[in-house]
Structures are given as structure tokens and as C-alpha cells.
Structure 1
Amino acid sequence: MKYKKIFFISPPFYSHFNPLLVLAKSFQEHGAEVTFGCSIEFKEKILEENLNFYEIDISSNKNTGTGENTVQPDTERMRLEEFFESTKKGAVETLITQSHHRKADMLYNPQELIDKIKRIDDSIDVDLYVVDILSYSVTLSLYFLGLPFVTFCPPHPNTIPREGRYFNVPKSWPEAITVNEEDLTRLKQVSTQTQREFTEVFNAIITENKSIEKISNAFSLVSEIAVIYNYFDFNAIEQNEENPKELFIGNSFQAVALDDEWLEKIETDEKIIMISLGTFLSNRKDVLEKLILSARETYPDALLIVSAGSHAEELQKHSSPNTIIEGFIPQIALMHYVDTVVFHGGCNTLTEAMYHGKEMIILPFSSDQFNIAYDIETHNLGRVLDPNNFSKEELAEAFNELETISKDNLLHWRNISRERGADYAVKKILEIE
């Protein structure tokens, strides 16, 4: 086995940490010795999985469970509030805000990280590093030091812009999200500027090492060995014969059993609907409230399970024997039991829903969610609504239209998800001579 000692470097983001942890465990189960580098908040979870822990901070921005409740520096909290406000103005304003934030959020002390990773490499005999696609400073450090690494892409594959594409600009938009040409042009201009700034920072550092070449796009810098996508190969572009391999795994989560208390809560013969907007976007209390009231009007007898984050207490006025509103729900364990998932289009929830073959209604707010919503709509696997402008009638219609979803198609992608997972990618990489 060429890669015996593997070092993971994870951002302190709950939604990225979890799939990386599953991938790390798979490498260990296949015989590799794995060290998992992350901020101290995740130490306990890493040690619970019998992985070696190494403390390393690679971002000043953190999300350890519920975004707005995570302890943040004032500057990070201000950016978070600005992001939440931008989501109320629509897709383009949100993406522009995110693009403006990228340099502060994701280009964290690159020179310092180069020194940190060099110390790691000098003290631990590492054969291969695994880095999250959003950890741009880590990718830069590994490239600068000439160290072998694999890129892990938990969000949509278009997060890595291919030739001729723009960073943070959806390739295609779902029908419910209307974007005029003027706004799209503005978004592309901001994207181009952010890309230019990132790339200039990368190349200013790269020039210090005469043995490596400058790059044309910092956001497209990935491993020469393999890119692992926590997604589905909807466009048949997987390439696993030559390097860099492009591997689509379809899921990277660990199945867990639902405890007896929850089993008792969900005991019903009625339809079960899960409403979850993710760790960050659960901040949008207005959308959660509208979804609760509209879903209840459409399905008076259904069981609603709502993940409400920090707004759970404020939303308790809508709770009832058949409306469960919690700050945190055991989403992975619950997914097996629900009929329909109403969510923001986050990749983790998507892969969990697809693994179990569930009906989906997506309300995309930001980031890669528009690309994911487009894919699900295009492949007739779910329905999409504008989170800021949907009516209760439109939600009712979306629920009704789920009856037309191709069950064979959903079953097809469910089976692909179950056949793959983290083990699929790990085996491909460990086979490399």
C-alpha cells in the first residue's frame, strides 16, 4: 500500500467535518494510520472514533453545530449577520455577499499555515494529506511545499470552477429562482474580482518557491492525485483510470439508530414531513415559520418534525402533538422514517435523503444550493421553491407534484448511493501504485 500514513486537515465547519470524519474512518478501516487535524472543538469526536487528533486552526470562522450559536470573534459574527440579511434579498445579493467574504473566511493566514504544515510533515511521516476544497490556504500550503494530497469536495462539484466557468456563480438556475441579466452580470463581475484577488495572493506566495509554477485560478487548484466528490455523477464525468481521478461517492455519513424516545415520538400512521434548513440557515425563522404553517394547512394530520436551531423556543407556539419543534434533531437517524424532506439544498441533507430514496422539496438560499436544486429539478427527483417568495399554495402544489416524481429514477440514484460511499473512493485511492 503506497499511502500508509494519512493526515486529514478539516475546517471547523460541522457540515464539512462530519463527512471528512467518515472518510477518515474508512481509510483507517482499510489499513491506513490516520491522523485528523482540526480545531480543539472537535477533539472529542475525533478521539471517539479512535483516530489520532492533531490540533490545528485553519479558519477564524467556525460552525460547530448551530452557526449563530457558535462562539465567534466580533468580525466573524458581523459577517455572519451580514450573510443572513443578504439571504432575505435573494440569490444574487447572497452570492455577492459570500464572494466578498471569501478572502476573510477562507484565506486564513496562508504563510502561517505553510509553516504549520511543514512542522507536521517534519514530525510525522505522512504519505498523503486529505484537504477540504474550501480550505484554500491548506491547499496552497500543500502545493507550495510539494506534498501529496487528495481534494475532498463536500459541496456541489461546480464549487470547483472548470474552464470558462465563474467561481460562486451557478452554472444553471432552478426555475423558481429568477435572475435578470443585469444582476447576473454584476455577480460575475464580483466573482471575477474575488477570483483575481485570491489568485494574486496565491501566486505572490508561490513565487517564493522557484520549483513550482504559478496558477491561473486559485479556486481550481486541486489534487493531481484525486478529487473526491460527496455527490452524484449526474453528468457522467467520473474519471477513475488516470490521475487525477474524479470519484463520486454519493454519501459520506454514518448510519445511526434512532433512540427509543424518538421512536415513540414519531409513532404514527400519518405522513411524516421533516423541515430542516441546516445549521446556518435555521437562522431564517421567518421561512421556518411559514413552512410550518403552510405544511400544516396542506396536511392537517401529518407529523411535522422541524429542526429550528436557536429559534426553537420562539417557534414552540406552533408545536402540538403532531408538530415537533426542536433546536437539534437526529436528522441522519430520522431520515429513514420520514416521507418528505423540505430543506435548503445542502449537500449533506441531500445525500442522506437520496440514500433513503425520499421525496424532496428544496428552498435554496446560497452557495452551491442553487446548483443542487437545479440537478434535483432537472432529474425529476424533487421540487424547488424560492425561499423568500413562495406562497402556501405553491408549497401545496409542490407537495402534490411529488406524486409525479419518477420512483424508478429515485430508486436508481438511491442504489448508486448505497453501492458507493466513502469506501468506494478509499479503495480506488489505496489501489494506486
Structure 2
Amino acid sequence: MESSAVARGRPPRVVVVSPPFVSHAQPLSVLAGALAREGADVVLASGPSFEGFAARAGVGFVPLTVTRNANTGVARSTRQAPGEAERLEEFLDSTRRGAVSALLTQSRHRGRDMLADPEGTLAALRALDARLRPDWYVVDQLSYPVTLALHCLGLRYATFCPGHPTYVPPSEDVRFGVPYAWPREIRPGEDRLEELRAAAGAVETAFTRRFAEVARVHAPEAPPPGRAFALASPHAVAFAYPEFPWLPDHPESGPSLLYGGHCGPAAEPDPGPGWKEVVGRLRAGHDRLVLIALGTFLSARDDVLALLVEGLRSRVPGAAAIVAAGDRAAALSALAGPGVHVEATVPQRWLLGKVDAMVHHGGNNSFTECLASGTPALVLPFSSDQFAIAHDAERAGAARCADPSRLDGRSAGEALRRLLDDPPPGVGRWSRWVRRRGPAWTARGLIREMSGVGDPRSAAPAAPCVR
């Protein structure tokens, strides 16, 4: 069926919906800009703090609140809803006890907050749709209330998966919240895995029941939403991830799957003379330079950051480091010196073109940015999909991995020395693969797949798109 936009002879009007988390809003805004450059009329809908992302992408913006949580760049410094700061501290503490403890804590939190206000989200999406009348939406896979609302309203949407592809579970035996595979040094014992599977299964059962209740009350005529964590677009799912051949297969009868590899801008803007001076100073006295950044949440693990610096100094002569320390920058200021520069935040993508290696937490953005830049990495996974990403990075020969809960100065230093002296061999191959795709490739694929999907609404004239 021909799309309404094509039938009316105008570009498709697309609303990209992002949760208020910088690690999600950033790639989604990049995708929004790519859709606009491919000819779509695009609006980014997210928390008010992210209007600047839309401006930089050259697209429209509307404020939309879909969760009580938020992260505008450094999680602990972001103003949170009551109780959220305590939950963040509980999560950070759980990461000190190892993989299963962190994942169990996340499972408990997930059971309480992933569908906190489905009726409010449904009302907000209905009002936004009546105002903008887009041809279709792009929604973050982890914005479950938004996906459910679009399903209940019968609106066309494509799914954007910002993390590991198993965030869209391809089969019943892949359970959300349980890594489909583990890096060599971290796989837990079978008893702990069974505990994790049971907890994740209980949350999914309850969450699926809640999905069904909301749909039954608010959209009794709509198809049942089915398995909650697997609810995604029936038309197209875009993964900001490489198409590794060992990933679990999705059903052939499902949506088109677009593996874009990476969803970041081609290059980070010039950070100015200050950062150029920092890199120049460190390079002048050292023959190798390492970037250490554990993401917007896990920068709070200042104990791990300190161990990494200690290990680098003691085991890797002639190496220097730049450390992204979030709100722990002041506390870690004693680490700074001739070979170590500590800042709250860093221009990560720009620095990846200047360093010899990176240490990161296995977040999808850092992983794919390292691939895109051809930077070898040491991955220290703490939570979420980071264990699955660490496994893939290790299997692809693009990174080495270590268990952050068992790290000390000696093991950290040895891991960094090995990374620098003997870089993993697959970085170049997968770097070339990632650079062949990217946001423009994904945008073209989404427009192609969604252009043939008929509009389930009446063909009433569309309202002007807000800029």
C-alpha cells in the first residue's frame, strides 16, 4: 500500500521519540538529522533538556516526558525524581559485587518503573499525534510505554534499538536481562545464572501481563501486544550495531532488520585549543595515550578509575591517560599529573582519533565509536547489555575484556600493557564494515521500508510541523 506522504506528493513527516537519557537522545538525534537529510520532515520529541540536540541535528523539537528517570550527561548530577538517586546508588553498589548482583538489581528496578504511567504516555502520544499528524514514528526500543501507546493507537512506527540486538528478544529462549553470551573472564556459575533467569522471567511475566491489561482497557480492538519486551515495529527495526554472523537469528517473517553499525556523527566538533593543548602536552612526554571513560552512569565507579590509572603508571612505562570522571573529577584530582589528565566530561569521539586505545564499560555508543575510529579497547562490563557487547567485541577480535569486580592495580596494568603491546587483530576489519554503514545508511533503509506501509488513520490534512 502506498504511504500517505507519497500519495500527497510530499516528504514523509517523522517524529523521533527519545527517552531523556543522553546515551539514547544523542544517537536518536543523529538519526533524526540523517532522516532530514534524506528528505524527511523530522521532529525530535524528548525531555526539555534535549532541545539542543534537535537544534544541532537541524530538526524540529517538541517536549515530551515519557519517564520519571533522566540522565542529561552525568547521571548523579542530574536532577532526579524522588527516590531515583537512592536507586542509582543501590545500582552502583551492586556493580561492586559482580555481574549477577548488578543484573538482579536492575531486574528489580525494571519491574517497578518500566510502565509507571502508561495512561499518561498514551494521552501524551495521542495529543502529539493529533497536533503533528506524522506519517510514522521512530521509537527507542527501551521506551516501552511509548511503544505500547503507539501499538494501542494503531500508529505506524519503526523501532530503533540503541543497545545490543537482543534488546529485541528474537525467541523465547533469549530472555531480556540475561546476557545471551558472556566474555571469557566473566561467565557466572550455573546456580547464579539460574537465579538470574528466574528473576528475569518473573519480571517479564508481570510486565507482559501489565501490557495486556493496558491494551485490553484502552485498545480492545487492537491485536494483543504479546511478549512485552519483544514488542517492536512489525515493519522495521534499526540496530545501531554491527551485523555479526553469530548473533541470534530473528524469525524470517518478522520486520526488516537494519544493522547500521553505528549512529554517531561523522566527527565530533573541534573541541577548541584547550583540548588540543592537553593532547599535545601528554603526547610530548609519552609515547602512548589511553582514554579511560566508563560512561555517564559508571563514571561514578571512581575506585575502578583509580585502579586503571595506578595500573597504567606501574605497568605501562611511557603511557599517559585522559580520564572522564563525571562528578568524581574533584575527588580524583590527586591522580592528575604529568601523565594523567582528569576531567568531568571529555570530547570522546574527537579524542578517539588521537589516542592509541580506550578503556570503556561496554556501552553500545563507546563500543561502536571505537569500531568506527579503529581504536582497540579494553572492555570492563558492569551491567545491562554490556556483558553481551563485551562478548561480541572479544569474539570479533576488536577488544579485550576484564572483570571490573575483580580488578586490582596489577591486573589492570597487565591488561592495559597487553592491549597496547598486542592490539586485538579484528579492529581494522570491523572498522571498515562499520564505516560502510552508519546513520545515512540506516535513514535510507527506514524511509524505504516505511514508505510502503499504509496509513491506518483517515487521510485528513496534516497540521503544520512545529519548528
TM-score range, shorter chain: over 0.9
Instruction: Show structure 2 runs of 5+ residues with no match.
Output: 453-467
Give the Cα–Cα distance (whole angstroms) in 2 for the partners of residues 429 and 283 of structure 1: 37
Q: What fraction of aligned residue pairs are identical, expressed as a percent?
A: 35
Selected match of 1:340 from 348, 357, 371: 357
Give the alignment's TM-score, normalised by structure 1. Answer: 0.96
In the other structure, the counterpart of 2:397 is: 380
Give the Cα–Cα distance (whole angstroms) in 1 for the partners of residues 102 and 168 of structure 2: 19
Q: 1:259-281 CA deviation, whole Å, 9 max, x = no partner? A: 22211211215101011110000
1:26 aligns with 2:41: no
Give the Cα–Cα distance (whole angstroms) in 2 for the partners of residues 216 and 244 of structure 1: 16
Instruction: Give yes or no for contact 1:240–1:246 (8 Å, CA) kept in 2.
Output: no
Give the drift of 1:217.
1.2
Give the Cα–Cα distance (whole angstroms) in 1 for the partners of residues 448 and 53 of structure 2: 29
In the other structure, the counterpart of 2:456 is: none
1:105 aligns with 2:116: no
In the other structure, the counterpart of 1:93 is: 101
Instruction: Give yes or no for contact 2:292–2:322 (8 Å, CA) kept in 1.
Output: yes
1:326 aligns with 2:343: yes
In the other structure, the counterpart of 2:150 is: 142
Give the Cα–Cα distance (whole angstroms) in 1 for the partners of residues 133 and 300 of structure 2: 43
What is the SS of the residue equivalent to 2:80? coil
Q: 1:50-96 CA deviation, whole Å, 9 max, x = no partner? A: 32111110010000000011001221111111111111111111101
Instruction: Give yes or no for contact 2:311–2:411 (8 Å, CA) kept in 1.
Output: no
1:244 aligns with 2:255: yes
Judged with a 3 Å threshold, the aligned counterparts in structure 2 of structure 1 residues 37 and 305 are, in CA distance, closer, same or farther, namely same
Selected match of 1:153 from 147, 154, 161: 161
Give the drift of 1:106.
2.5
How many equivalent residue pairs?
432
Instruction: Give yes or no for contact 2:307–2:412 (8 Å, CA) kept in 1.
Output: no
Judged with a 3 Å threshold, the aligned counterparts in structure 2 of structure 1 residues 100 and 244 are, in CA distance, closer, same or farther, namely same
1:116 aligns with 2:124: yes
Q: How does 1:175-324 map to 2 (within 5 A)?
A: 175-208=184-217, 209-235=219-245, 244-254=255-265, 255-256=267-268, 257-267=270-280, 268=283, 270-324=287-341
Which AA in structure 1 matches 2:260? I
Instruction: Give yes or no for contact 2:179–2:387 (8 Å, CA) kept in 1.
Output: yes
Selected match of 2:64 from 51, 56, 59: 56
1:356 aligns with 2:373: yes
Give the Cα–Cα distance (whole angstroms) in 1 for the partners of residues 351 and 339 of structure 2: 15
Instruction: Give yes or no for contact 1:258–1:334 (8 Å, CA) kept in 2.
Output: no
In the other structure, the counterpart of 2:45 is: 37
Judged with a 3 Å threshold, the aligned counterparts in structure 2 of structure 1 residues 312 and 187 are, in CA distance, closer, same or farther, namely same
Tell me: higher relative CO, structure 1 or 2? Use CA pairs within 8 A at least 6 residues apart.
2
Judged with a 3 Å threshold, the aligned counterparts in structure 2 of structure 1 residues 159 and 240 are, in CA distance, closer, same or farther, namely closer
Instruction: Give yes or no for contact 2:260–2:441 (8 Å, CA) kept in 1.
Output: yes
CA RMSD of aligned residues (A): 1.9
Which AA in structure 2 matches 1:333? W
1:74 aligns with 2:87: no
Judged with a 3 Å threshold, the aligned counterparts in structure 2 of structure 1 residues 36 and 308 are, in CA distance, closer, same or farther, namely same
Instruction: Give yes or no for contact 1:58–1:108 (8 Å, CA) kept in 2.
Output: no
Give the drift of 1:243.
6.0
Give the Cα–Cα distance (whole angstroms) in 2 for the partners of residues 261 and 405 of structure 1: 29
Give the Cα–Cα distance (whole angstroms) in 1 for the partners of residues 61 and 109 of structure 2: 29
Instruction: Show structure 1 runs of 5+ residues with no match.
Output: none
Give the drift of 1:299.
2.1
Give the Cα–Cα distance (whole angstroms) in 2 for the partners of residues 188 and 280 of structure 1: 25
Deviates more, 1:374-383 or 1:148-157: 374-383
Q: 1:223-273 CA deviation, whole Å, 9 max, x = no partner? A: 011111111111267999986111111111111234222112112151010
Q: 1:262-306 CA deviation, whole Å, 9 max, x = no partner? A: 112112151010111100001111111111111111223222000
